Each structure stands twice: as C-alpha cells, then as structure tokens.
Amino acid sequence: MTGPDVVPADTQTRTILLLSGFRIFPTNTGAHVRTGGIARALARIGHRVLIYSLAGRREDYRFHLGRQSSHIAQLESNLVEETHLGWGFGLMQAINRRLDYPRYWQHELLRRGIIPRRLSRALHDADIVMSDSPWCPRVPGPWAQKPWFMISHNLEYRLLEQAEPRHRRFAPWMQQVECDAPTHFRDIFACAEEDHEFFRRHDVGARLKLPIIRCGVDPAAYNVPPGTRERVRAELGLSDSDRVLIFSGSRFGPNLEALAALQEFCRLEAAFLARERIYVLVLGSMLPTPCREGALIGTGRVPEVAPYFAAADAGLNAITRGSGANVKLFEYLAAKLPIISTAFGVRGTALEAEKDFLLYEPQDLKRAIQRFTARSHQEWSTHAAAVWSRHRRSFDIQALVSDAVAQLPEFQAN
C-alpha cells in the first residue's frame, strides 16, 4: 500500500487491507458505522489501514465515472479509503439494486479471483487482510495464505431468512457460506453472542479465538459545533419547546416494519402528539425522500447523522426482530441521548431497564412517551451522560477493537 495518499507509519506496525463490498465513508448506515469505527480504531492503534471498497454510491459514479477508475480519500494519517469506480462493478451493483437482489454477485466474482488490478496490488502489499462480512470471501491468488480475518456484523443468513421472498431464496446458500467461514479465515471477529456461538459450533478443532467486537461507535464522531441543535431544528420547522424522538436506520426489513408501526401510531395518536408537542424524526433511507406527515418527519438519506442526533431529545429503538445488535442504540448513547427502547432493541448489552433506558413494547409507546415528558430536557441530558459514562467501555469502538486484537498475535508489533 504505497502512494502519495498514504501517510508513512512506524515500521513495526502492520499494513492492513480491509476489503468491503461498498463505500464506507461518510458513514450513514449501521454497517458503515461499525466497519468505519473498526478501521479508525486500527489506524489509531498505529497500523496502516486501507479500506478497499469494490463499488461506490450513486453520486460517486455521477461525479467520477469516465474520469477516473477509483476515488481515494485520506481520512486520517493512517487511514485511507479507495473506492473502485470501474464500469463493470458499478453496472453490476446498479442492476442488482434495481432488481433488489443481495450482493451474491460480489461474492461470486471475488471467490473466482475476478478483481480490479489496484485491489491485486493492495492485496500484494498487505500484511493482514480483513473481509467486511461473509459477502467478501478470500480471494484466490498469491495473497490467499496471508493472515485473513472476517468481520461479522450479524448472521447474514438470519437476515435473509427474515427478508422478502427474493432475498429469502439466498438464505440456505449464505448459511452454508457462514458455516464454512471458520475453515476459510484465520479468525473471525464476532459482534455478539449469537454469531460467536454459531461460528464456535462450526469451528472444527476449536482453533479460532473468535474475539468479539461489539457494535460500538467512535464517540468523537457525535461531537458537533455549538449551535447545531438550534440550526437543524430550525431547518425542520421545530422550536425549542418541541420534543423530538429520533429513529434512525436504513431500508432494512426490521427497520421498515418498526417504521410502519410508528407511522400507524402517529396517525392514531395525532391529537395526543400535537398536544404534547412530540415529533418522531425518522433519520436515514427508511423513507426515500424528505417528508412530513403530522408528527412524523422523515429526512431521507443524509450526508451526516450527528447533527440530527444533536437536534433530538431522545433516541427511539422500535426494533422487534433482526440479528446481531442495533448500531443505532450505540449512536444514541454516544450522542448522549436518553433511550426509549423495546426489550429486543437492547439485546446483547448490559443496559438495565429503568436505570439506563425506558422500556416499552409497541402497544405501550404512548405510556412510555408520557413517562418521558414527565421529566425535563435537562434532567434527561444529565441521565444520558451518566449512562454513557457508566457503559462507555462496552460501547467505545476504540476500546473494543484494542481488546479484540490484543488476543491475536498477527496484530502485534514485530
């Protein structure tokens, strides 16, 4: 990994290639946040990290296609992201997105060794390779015997099983891919007990350590300039007297189901919400375009999420099914927001109901909101800061990554 976009680092550090199916930065989904946080943490430990993203976002092709085959971004002194913008991968991604198919095509190209030339060079230069999920398998070639790790964000086959029929047909195939993963990778970074136990069951000879990197976040990413809260609320047509409950996420099946329940709640309880000046802010691509319907406000996809967290009064986690853990929960914590969550939404954490968050189930949301409005904004801000302080080490991605890689000799200095 050489070139003008890479800042030289100490020779005792490792050169790490993190192979992703899509562009990571700027982060605007849970998967982006976790992968980006892991990459930043490794770079801050002192390793040289290159994220190689096989395909860009729609706007990347609009601005760069035909002028350059890749886009290189220097994110920090030891962290670079290179996004491949070639016609082939871009066209395949566009077609599959239009048809709403999972990333099967990426997996098949990679496992056959069909990769961009610049990725070949990056693989050659790397000391360690990390695949961002089982959608990115080991690539055959002279680099195949290098220490090659996988980052698990959840059990992908479980997500496919819960998706629409077009995606469910790939679930048995992905289950086999994940069953085979312990034999193909030097080790796997699990995200929670569910995937950790799954990979342990399929780890023949119990040779893997399977360190867990929970769905933490970089708290510094949620610091915003003074006045951000007031500016964003003004843009949304909200005053300081309004209470804003934020629900963030992408167009992922469980998120969309939770959103439908919230939309119905806002319709049925319109008078209550108007009287109490409560708004539900839906952040991210769950709603394709900005919209406003009564108490429900949708932003559509946004370039940055932190300003909207700053504008909110509480984080709402309405999820009732899925796999792995919800990154949105940890974003709420890092943004110092009090949390209103279902029991499922806090799975895999040490958060305690009533002490750390307001517990509710979908049929009880009105009562939970009434309990929330019984305390002032300042009281809740103090509460949220105390919760973050109490649980920070469990949710700070830097601490989580440092603890995980400390178990693996491949990441240690020469």
What string of DSSP letters covers 107-122? HHHHHTT---HHHHHH
Q: What is the DSSP string of 67-120?
A: T-SEEEEEEETTEEEEEE--HHHHHHHHHHHHHT--THHHHHHHHTT---HHHH
pLDDT 10s digits, 305-349: 999 999 999 999 999 987 666 789 999 999 999 999 999 999 878
Indicate the range of 85-89, 186-190, 242-246, 265-269 predicted with least confidence. Answer: 85-89
Q: Are strands 291-293 and 296-298 parallel, antiparallel or unpaired?
A: antiparallel
What CA–CA distance (Å, rounded) separates 399 from 406?
Answer: 11
Count of CB atoms situated within 10 Å of the CB of 247 = 25
Report whether pLDDT(10) > 80. Answer: no
Q: Cα–Cα–Cα angle for 350, 355, 356, nearest 5°? A: 55
Indicate the range of 27-41, 103-117, 336-350, 372-386 predicted with least confidence. Answer: 27-41
pLDDT of residue 7: 37
Rounded to the nearest 10 degrees, the angle between the axes of helix 377-395 and helix 397-405 is 10
Indicate the range of 65-74, 126-135, 220-229, 402-411 predicted with least confidence. Answer: 65-74
Topology annotation, domain 15-218+397-409: Rossmann fold (3.40.50)
Task: Tell the burial category of 151 from Cβ atoms under 10 Å away from its Cβ (0-12, 13-18, 19+).
Answer: buried
The kind and range of the H/E element at 293 are: strand 291-293
Q: How large is the average pLDDT for residues 298-310?
A: 93
pLDDT of residue 1: 36
The residues near 222 (Cβ < 8 Å, ≥ 6 apart) are 306, 309, 310, 331, 334, 335, 336
What CA–CA distance (Å, rounded) separates 371 from 316?
Answer: 14
Tell me what percent of the residues of the chain surpass a pLDDT of 70: 95
Report whether pLDDT(72) > 70. Answer: yes
Question: What are the C-alpha distances in Å from 139 to residues 19, 60, 142, 270, 328?
Answer: 10, 25, 9, 54, 32
Indicate the range of 22-36, 165-179, 212-226, 265-279 predicted with least confidence. Answer: 22-36
CATH superfamily of 221-395: Glycogen Phosphorylase B; (3.40.50.2000)
What CA–CA distance (Å, rounded) separates 83 from 154?
Answer: 24
- CB-facing half-sphere around the CA of 325: CA atoms within 13 A: 27
Report whether pLDDT(3) > 60. Answer: no
pLDDT of residue 79: 97
Report whether pLDDT(264) > 90. Answer: yes
pLDDT of residue 63: 67
Q: Is the dihedral of CA 95, 98, 103, 104 positive or negative?
A: negative
How many residues are listed for the chain in this entry?
Answer: 414
Tell me what percent of the residues of the chain surpass a pLDDT of 90: 75
Contact 299, 280 (CB under 8 A): no
Beta-bridge partner residues of 317: 341
Looking at the chain, the domain(s) classified CATH 3.40.50.2000 span 15-218+397-409, 221-395
- Phi first, then psi: give them for residue 89, nearest 5 degrees: -65, -40
- 225 versus 94: the higher-pLDDT residue is 225
Rounded to two decimals, what is the model's pTM?
Answer: 0.82
Q: How large is the average pLDDT for residues 11-22?
A: 88
pLDDT of residue 64: 58
